[in-house]
A and B are shown apart, each in its own frame.
Chain A
Amino acid sequence: MLVSSLAFLLSISEKKDLSWIEPSSDQVLPELITYPNSYGKLEILNADGPVQLKNHPFFEPIGSNGRACVSCHQPSNAMSVSVENLQKRWEETHGKDPVFAAVDGSNNPKLPQELKSSHSLLLNRGLFRIGLSWPPKPDNGVPVKPEFTIEVVSDPTGANSDPDFGLKGKEPSISVYRRPRVVGNMKYVMSPDPRFNIKTGTLAVTDPETGLVVGMNMMADSRHYTQKAQAIDAYHGHLQGHTFLTPSEQKQIVDFENQLYLAQSHDPWGSPLVENGKPEGLGAKAMKEGKVHVLANNNRDPIFHWFKTWENPETMSKDLTKEQKEFRQSVARGNDIFMFRPFWINDVTHINSIGLANPLRRTCSTCHNGQMTAQDIAPGWVDLGTTNYPNWTENRIFNQKTDLPVFKCTCSPSADPHPYLGRVVYTTDPGRALISGKCKDIGSIVMQQFRGLAARAPYFANGSAKNLMEVVDYYDRRFNMKLADQEKKDLVNFLSSL
């Protein structure tokens, strides 16, 4: 009994040497580990027990450029990677860490790699270059004929004008720049919707190996539907592997991903968020035990369950300070705004355009409707406006300028136009349209899960929101929500605790 308790205590650790895991590290990722961040602590739960990193394909440099999967999916950053950690890593290694590999860790692989400026998109926005064939490769085996032409209007990185891999190069491709997605809580991310895709009115896609319907919420453009396909693609692309990922390696990677749960676990003062199992929607244990594919945009069993014990200081632990209690009340108010505060949702492709009305008077949880993660339980690509003119996310608070490429997409007269921008769309990332070839998909990006946000700034697929306040501010502006300053803080505190 004593031995097992000690072992458990040892497994709950907060090891500084795991704050950045290098490939081929001879360490153990414990069953439960917490990492500090500016909002408190993040918790990583390995449901299958401690993970030996040595010889594990997720943690080994199995490609040719020294990278491992973990290079861009760090546990300390909720299995993504933060700009803060990247900048620190640049200073510590003088840019030699394989995360900065020329292939996609720089703005353009042909730039002088020793210069920090050549990696500005990664260091400032946390963005990796994603080179996608144009015209698109077959989508799930079905040939794709694009409904639009694409021109490069502005190319600050030079990648899209490159004579070899640019849009008019020998192997035409389009370079867009995106944040790495969280690898964790995958049972929610991967859960499939019913047989028809409500967004497209077509059959949902299936896993070619099993024939089973798959979810489409894993990647920003949903170009791969299974973790295995994503792993193989990442091996050849991000890791520049020249041979193949063995079936055993594929299984190890997918198995590791599927047993990993993560969520914020402690408040900014270091106290646990969850006490006596309340609030029941917080913490990694809740993520492990939660039901999947629950449509929760309702007042019966909401997205993150209830925060009732946090609504009143008298129902909170007596050990908490006044500030801690006020923080918890703020989180509960933020949850109420997220769940129940109506506003006009307008001009969002694949929300307003699927029969729900434009505009639609509903709440944040209308679109972020999946219990525990707040992803859409249907295939979740939407054009929120973060990439398309006129709503693209120029960061107003921090006054960032566009350093992303700008494309002009012109839709064929025979195609359905983009529902709210028409037949000519200027965009920094065509998103799902680069895969589907559909004009109406231009700028649509698959929404992400809300977990571990505190550990992985910046936000949005293009890293344009430097912190959570900037995320809230974008929504406030975009949808004219008229949030008061206190309401914005409540939403930030709420998001930081997930």
Chain B
Amino acid sequence: MRNGILIFCCWISTFCAFAQTTTGKYVAFLACPIVRDSKAMPCWLAEKDGTTYYLGQQGSSASAFYPPQLKHQVLVEGFIQDPQKTSCGGIVIDPIVISVMPELDVACTTLLPAEDGLEPPAPVPFPKYEPFSDDTKEFQILYDFDSDYLTLHKTRIAGEAVRVAKIQQPARIEIHAYRGKSKLSDGTILEEKLAMVHRRAEKMFDVFVGLDISKEKIKVIEHEKALGGKGEGDYLNRKLVIKLYK
């Protein structure tokens, strides 16, 4: 399966890697995550239909990969480049996007002890942050499924958008909020809550106004129709786009 995803604004390495990938088998599924201890960092796995996958390893809030949470299912979307390539006992999915599903699932409790030979790879370096160009016109923020939480990485994009807006002094700023659908490998379609659109938009509006951008300049457009649901690239529809107009 080929991935022809392109995104116009590529800032965080995880998403850059995902966007630029053109090979591999796309997989998307919901499962209970599994954490396995190791001599290095704990690694995170998920088992689906008898196959164990490696998702990533524990890091910090500055890491590109935010691990799953026990007591919650995880939505996994990504590519298997080589079914023989394993880490921590699971087939590596890379690039990968995961979402912690908000509702509690008390069945998700598996914590495995460390085992010799089952180690995560060397940690992925923290994403490098370059300031956006002062003439940037569009900024995009991607979200976890059914989430409006702005992680450290996402707040940096929001902060950059405000910084650039203050330089450009646009006549109008549009905040476009979207929600998405995700098609799982078994054909199931997951659709984000309608409320996500408003919540994402409202939070970003508050950021702009709180950072002294005149609310009269800001137009919020809430796109209620859930986009995607086709498989590859579904994660790109859980988004918010900020546009600056002269």
Contacts and interface: CB of A to CB of B under 8 A. Distances in A.
Interface in B79-113: 102-104, 111
Interface in A278-320: none
B195 to A, nearest CB: 6
B151 A419 contact: no
A414 interface: yes
A422 B105 CA distance: 9
B150 A196 contact: yes
A51 interface: no
B206 A203 contact: yes
A202 B70 contact: no
Given A356-B61, A357-B44, A201 B150 contact: yes
B207 A202 contact: yes
Nearest to B193: A414
Interface in B42-71: 42, 44, 58, 60-61, 66-71
Interface stretch (B152-160, B181-189, B228-236): B152-160
B42 A361 contact: yes
The 7 closest A-B pairs by CB, nearest first: A201-B150, A355-B66, A358-B69, A357-B67, A196-B155, A203-B210, A422-B104
Contacts of A357: 35, 42, 44, 58, 66-69
A422 B44 CA distance: 23
A203 B207 contact: yes
A133 B44 CA distance: 43
A120 interface: no
Contact of B159 (A196, A361, A423): A196
A344 B104 contact: no
A419 B103 CA distance: 8
B155 A201 contact: yes
Contact of B154 (A201, A353, A360): A201
B126 interface: no
A429 interface: no
Contacts of A359: 35, 42, 70, 111
Q: Which one of B68, B148, B150 has the greatest number of beta carbons of chain A within 10 Å?
A: B150
A361 B149 contact: no
B195 A417 contact: no
12 contacts: A198-B155, A201-B149, A202-B203, A203-B206, A344-B111, A354-B151, A355-B66, A357-B42, A358-B70, A361-B58, A417-B104, A419-B69
Interface centre among A201, A347, A422, A423 (most CB of B within 10 A): A201
A347 B207 contact: no
Q: Which of B41, B42, B44, B206 has the most CB of A within 10 A?
A: B42
Contact of B37 (A195, A361, A422): A361
Interface string A189-228: 0000001101001110000000000000000000000000
Contact of A198 (B71, B152, B207): B152
Of the four ranges (under 10, 10 to 19, 20 to 34, 35 or more), the interface on chain B belongs to 35 or more
A352 interface: yes
B72 interface: yes
Nearest to A440: B102
A185 B155 CA distance: 30
A114 interface: no
A420 interface: yes
A346 interface: yes
A352 B158 CA distance: 23
User: Which of B37, B71, B203 counts the most chain A CB atoms within 10 A?
Assistant: B71
B171 interface: no
A355 B58 contact: no
A354 B100 CA distance: 11
Contacts of A421: 104
Contact of B69 (A198, A353, A422): A353
B37 A201 contact: no
B211 interface: yes
A159 to B, nearest CB: 31
Contact of B58 (A203, A346, A360): A360
A423 B193 CA distance: 17
A164 interface: no
Nearest to B103: A417
A352 B195 contact: no
A189 B236 CA distance: 40
Contact of A202 (B41, B152, B206): B206
Interface in A320-377: 344, 346-347, 352-361
A171 interface: no
B71 A420 contact: yes
Given A202-B207, A361-B42, 20 more contacts: A196-B158, A198-B61, A201-B154, A202-B150, A203-B207, A354-B149, A354-B151, A355-B61, A356-B66, A357-B44, A357-B67, A359-B111, A361-B41, A414-B193, A416-B102, A417-B103, A420-B104, A421-B104, A422-B103, A423-B104
Nearest to A420: B71
Contacts of B67: 355-357
A379 to B, nearest CB: 14
A201 B210 CA distance: 13
B61 A419 contact: no
Most chain B CB within 10 A, of A201, A353, A355, is at A355
Contacts of B111: 344, 359
Interface string B163-179: 00000000000000000
Nearest to B211: A203
Interface string B2-39: 00000000000000000000000000000000010100
B42 A347 contact: no
A117 to B, nearest CB: 40
